[in-house]
Amino acid sequence: MSDWTIGIIGGSGLYAIDALEDAQWIPVQSPWGEPSDEILCGRIGHVRVRFLPRHGRGHRIAPSTLNSRANIDALKRAGCTDILAISAVGSLSEELPPGRFVTVDQFIDNTKGRPSSFYGDGFVAHVSMADPVCHRLSKHAAKSVAKAGGECSEGATYLAMEGPQFSTRAESRLYRHWGAEVIGMTGMPEARLAREAELPYALLAMVTDYDSWQANGEAVDVAQVIERMQQNSKLARKAIEAFCEDLPKKRSPSPIDRALADAVITAPDKHDRTVLAKLDAVAGRLFEGG
C-alpha cells in the first residue's frame, strides 16, 4: 500500500463507489456530532479509500443541516491524508456547459449561520484560506476525468449559497457580477474545515445546469438536475478510480499538512482542556509535538 489515504466526499447522486475492493461500512464517532453516514472503507489499487456520502445514503440530509465539522473530523479519524470532494453545481459561465466537469480553485461563501470552524473560545486559530484548495490534487482530478472519457476545465470560482431553494434570476446574475463561475450549496464550510484539519482538499464539480442567469434560459428544476447527475455520476465513479490508480506510490508532504503551524494565537497556558479534547483528531498533531 502507498502512503495515501484518500477521503472521497460524494455529492448529490454519488452514494457509493463500485470499484472499491475489500469494502465495508464502518461507523465513526465524532465529538462534533453525527457524520452524514458511516464511512465506506476499502482500497482502489495501492490507495486506501474512505468514502463518505455527503447527504447520507438516499440523500436524506439537506445542505443547510449538514454537519460538516463531524464529516471532516470523522474522515480525519479514519486516517485520511487528503480529501477529494465531488459536488453537483450550476454553471454561471457559457464556458462551463451542463455535462462538463471543473476543478474549483476559489470560493465565495454566501452561506448563513453554518458552523464554519473547529476553533473558538479557549483555542483560537486563524488558518490561511488565500489558496483554499490543494492544486496537486486538483491537477490529478482533472486528469482523471479526461482518462475516464469526460471533459474537465481547470480552475473556477465557486459561489456557496445557503439553499435549499435555487437562485432567483437576479441573484444568479449578481453572482456572475461577483466573478463566480459555478454555484452550489455544500462547498462551504467544508473546504474551510478541511484546511483547519490540515487535510489537502480538492473539489471536482459536475455541472448539471446553467442556474438562472440566462435571459431566455429555463428555470432550474430538480428533474433536470437529477437527470444530469445520473449521467455525470457514472463518469465521476470512473474518474475516482482513475484518480486513485494514477496517484504516485509515494505521497510527498504538502504544506497543507502543517496549516496550523502558525495559526494558533491562544497562549498555551490559556488553552481550554475541554476544547482540546474535541480537537484530538483535527489538531492532535500540535498537542503531540508533531
Rounded CA-CA distance 207/104 in Å is: 12
Decide: residue 173, CB within 10 A, 0-12 exposed, 13-18 middle, 19+ buried.
middle
Where in the sequence numbering do the catalytic residues fall?
Answer: 209, 211
> Could you give the number of structural domains in the chain?
1
Residue the block writes with cell 510527498 = 252
CB 7 within 8 A of CB 80: yes
Q: Which of 145, 137, 134 has the alpha carbon at shortest distance from 99?
A: 145
Q: What is the dihedral of CA 237, 239, 243, 244, to 10 degrees?
A: 30
CB 186 within 8 A of CB 176: no
Q: Output the pLDDT for position 15.
A: 72
Q: Output the pLDDT for position 70.
A: 98
Q: Output the pLDDT for position 232.
A: 75
Which residue range is the domain that position 53 belongs to? 5-287
Rounded CA-CA distance 253/40 in Å is: 25
Q: Which of 29, 171, 8, 1 has the alpha carbon at shortest distance from 92?
A: 171
Q: For residue 256, count other CB atoms closer than 10 A to its CB.
A: 22
CB 204 within 8 A of CB 145: yes
C-alpha cell, 177: 457580477
Q: What is the CATH number of the domain that holds 80?
A: 3.40.50.1580
User: For 175-250, where are the E strands, in sequence order?
Assistant: 182-184, 201-209
pTM (2 d.p.)? 0.94
Give per-10-residue mean pLDDT for the chain (290 aa).
90 76 95 97 95 93 96 98 95 94 98 96 97 98 96 97 93 96 97 98 94 74 68 86 95 97 95 95 83
Interacting residues of 91 by C-beta distance below 8 A, sequence separation 6+: 97, 98, 100, 181, 182, 183, 207, 209, 210, 211
